[in-house]
């Protein structure tokens, strides 16, 4: 799903996810859908674990005595999510940049392809060939995207559980976790996609013959995209992005709550 999302954002292959998926399979086989998988796993190892660990550490600190995380003031939850999202995104930027480059590689002319072997090779070459600037390529937009994603995801989950709990099996029931997690994922996807789109445009670009990049930065890229294709183009690939983000965030919350509940039951 992430591979299809990036191809749609890059352009030139249409916006129908099924058609784009078929085109990728026809071009590179089923394995083409998993191009950059190693970098995607590394991104989750660094980004996914750090943002959730930081967020829950902060919410545990600020939860009122005898209450739950749903009772934390909204602005406090926003502050916790921004802190967790920003730090997590910074930690995960090298793997994220490697993933986007590997996914976009097959769309480039053969002479311009980077041909990274895997995520570790991609990050090592980025650091060796481009220095820290290349290693943290797109750090700014990645952090902004991470902030937006986390505000949508982290501030909404506990509130959604509190809202839908009475309709299902209570605020900490399994069904409530699934429903709350899905709504949290949808909220996060809707808020974050414009930033994700700009991030993809910046991370995939290569300098021209004169060494000049098409976009000077995050704001310049957003301005040029809107001027050329309208503001709604920032939500290019929305159904695919929602279909990719919702299950991931839903299962992340369900697993996290279930594991935490088991650990608490063991006195840990």
Residue 12, pLDDT score: 62
**Has residue 26 got a pLDDT over 70?**
yes
Give the model's pLDDT for residue 122.
92
163 pLDDT tier (thresholds 50, 70, 90): very high
- pLDDT bin (cut points 50, 70, 90) of residue 214 is confident
pLDDT grade, residue 30 (50/70/90)? very high
Give the pLDDT score at 9.
81
The least confident of 59-73, 204-218, 247-261 is 204-218
Asked if the model's pLDDT at residue 204 lies above 80, the reply is no
CATH superfamily for domain 37-265: Mitochondrial carrier domain (1.50.40.10)
HEC states along the chain? Answer: CHHHHHHHHHCCCCCCHHHHHHHHHHHHCHHHHHCCHHHHHHHHHHHHHHHHHHHHHHHHHHCCCCCCHHHCCHHHHHHHHHHHHHHHHHHHHHHHHHHHHHHHHHHCCHHHCCCCCCHHHHHHHHHHHHHHHHHCCCHHHHHHHHHHHHHHHHCCHHHHHHHHHHHCCCCCCHHHHHHHHHHHHHHHHHHHHHHHHHHHHHHHCCCCCCCCCCCCCHHHHHHHHHHHHCHHHHHCCHHHHHHHHHHHHHHHHHHHHHHHHHHHHCCC
Mean pLDDT of 232-259: 91
Question: Is a pLDDT exceeding 70 seen at residue 170?
Answer: yes
- pLDDT higher than threshold 90 for residue 208: no
């Amino acid at each position: 799903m992430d591979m299809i999302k990036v191809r749609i954002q890059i352009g030139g292959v249409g916006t129908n996810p099924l058609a784009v998926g078929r085109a990728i399979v026809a071009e590179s086989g089923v394995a083409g859908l998993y191009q950059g998988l190693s970098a995607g796993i590394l991104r989750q190892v660094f980004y996914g674990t750090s943002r959730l660990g930081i967020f829950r550490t902060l919410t545990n600190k600020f939860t009122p005595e005898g209450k739950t995380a749903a009772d934390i003031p909204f602005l406090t939850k926003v502050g916790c999510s921004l802190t967790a999202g920003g730090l997590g995104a910074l930690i995960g930027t090298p793997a994220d940049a490697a993933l986007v480059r590997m996914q976009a590689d097959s769309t480039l002319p053969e002479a311009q392809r980077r041909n990274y072997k895997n995520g570790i090779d991609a990050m090592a070459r980025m650091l060796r060939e481009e220095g820290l600037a290349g290693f943290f390529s797109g750090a700014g937009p990645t952090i902004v995207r991470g902030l937006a994603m986390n505000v949508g995801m982290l501030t909404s989950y506990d509130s959604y559980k509190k809202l839908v709990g009475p309709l299902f099996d209570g605020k900490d029931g399994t069904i409530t976790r699934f429903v709350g997690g899905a709504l949290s994922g949808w909220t996060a996807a809707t808020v974050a996609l414009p930033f994700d789109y700009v991030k993809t445009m910046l991370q995939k670009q290569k300098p021209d013959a004169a060494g000049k990049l098409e976009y000077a930065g995050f704001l310049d890229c957003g301005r040029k995209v809107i001027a050329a294709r309208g503001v709604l183009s920032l939500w290019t690939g929305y159904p695919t992005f929602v279909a990719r983000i919702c299950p991931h965030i839903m299962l992340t919350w369900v697993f996290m709550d279930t594991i935490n509940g088991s650990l608490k039951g063991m006195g840990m």
